[in-house]
Amino acid sequence: MNPALELRGVTKAYKGHQALHPLDLTVERGRVCGLLGPNGAGKTTTIRMITGILMPDTGSIHLMGEPCTSASRLRLGYLPEEHGLYPKMRVGEHLEFIGALHGLDPLERRRRVTQWLERLGLADRAKQKVEEFSKGMQQKLQFIATVLHDPELLILDEPFSGLDPGNAKLLKDILMEFVAKGRTLLLSTHRMEQVEMMCDDICLIDRGRLIVGGPIAEVKKKYGHDTVQLEFDGPGEMLDALPGVRRIDRYAKYAEVRMADGADPQALYDALAGRVRVRRFALGEPSINDIFLELTGAKR
């Protein structure tokens, strides 16, 4: 086994505050791992140590089986949540500059810049200044800068931020192409639906500690509770008195009902009968969002 990324016993403290307790994390090659956690959990600190912005106090980090050094980090691409763009530069020049930093020769970097601008629909804007781009366009530009050198490991921090649905789908399709080619993704996001659809594994950290990690299917089996997806017409207040309910995620005429251990979904359905008009009653596996809330606490 030769993981794309491996952290062993990694810690970090700031002025007496232990931001990260000993953290063990393994991301296998060719897989998508979701790095999850509440605000302040330690996700950003972890990413900054992997990318070399910070150094760990203790522990080791390996990339592609090698100790994490400036040379080995050339094999990863990092898309930060906050853009690291040069606003006064023209788009094409900016990307060619990034390519030069990664050691691409002039002809090759020009070819790649042209190819990626066309792929993301920015070819006609190559001579515009970065500061003239909208937030979504800057996100696409930052993504090109991240993948221009064809990295083996992509670390993505809220990659879909600022993108409309069409561009979010385009970016998702490109990322899935990377995975199909054997590349590895570490995805940090608060959008749990993206985790459900894209990730093979998760690493959930809270208060600087690893809470749970592993393949999503195994995590759901170990920590999940039956969930009823309920659509109804009628007063929503009556949901609070339903039997066998652990927690309710309520909307206007829709609710996700987390069942208590050992509770019978049939008893729940019977209690609904005659009180509301049930349009949908589906028993399914728990969502990653449910497990996230359960393990980290729904309230802070």
Comparing 240 with 289, which gets the higher pLDDT?
A: 289
Give pLDDT, residue 66: 92
Counting residues of the chain whose pLDDT is more than 70, the rounded percentage is 98
Per-residue pLDDT band at 1 (split at 50, 70, 90)? low
> Taking all residues of the chain, what is their mean pLDDT, rounded to a whole number?
90
Q: How many Cα atoms occupy the beta-carbon half-sphere of 286 within 13 Å? A: 27
pLDDT digit string, tens, across residues 178-223? 999 999 999 998 888 889 899 999 999 999 999 999 999 899 888 7
Q: Could you give the domains of the chain?
A: 5-221 (3.40.50.300), 225-284 (3.30.70)
CB of 210 closer than 8 Å to CB of 296? no
What residues pair up with 188 in beta bridges, in sequence order?
A: 35, 157
Q: How many Cα atoms occupy the beta-carbon half-sphere of 102 within 13 Å? A: 26
Mean pLDDT of 115-119: 97
Report CA-CA distances (Å) from 271 to 111, 138, 231, 240, 276. 65, 52, 15, 12, 10
pLDDT score of 34 more than 90: yes
Give pLDDT, residue 300: 40
Per-residue pLDDT band at 299 (split at 50, 70, 90)? very low
State whether residue 276 is helix, strand or coil. Answer: coil
The residues, any chain, with a CB within 8 Å of residue 33's CB and separated by 6 or more, are 27, 184, 185, 186, 187, 199, 200, 201, 202, 203
Query: SS3 string of 180-200?
Result: HCCCEEEEECCCHHHHHHHCC
State whether residue 281 is helix, strand or coil. Answer: strand
CB of 256 closer than 8 Å to CB of 294? no
Which alpha helices (DSSP H) does 76-213 contain, by range? 91-101, 106-119, 135-147, 165-180, 192-198
Comparing 213 with 225, which gets the higher pLDDT?
A: 213
pLDDT digit string, tens, across residues 149-168? 999 999 999 999 999 999 99
pLDDT digit string, tens, across residues 134-149? 999 999 999 999 999 9
- Judged by average pLDDT, the poorest of 35-39, 223-227, 257-261 is 223-227
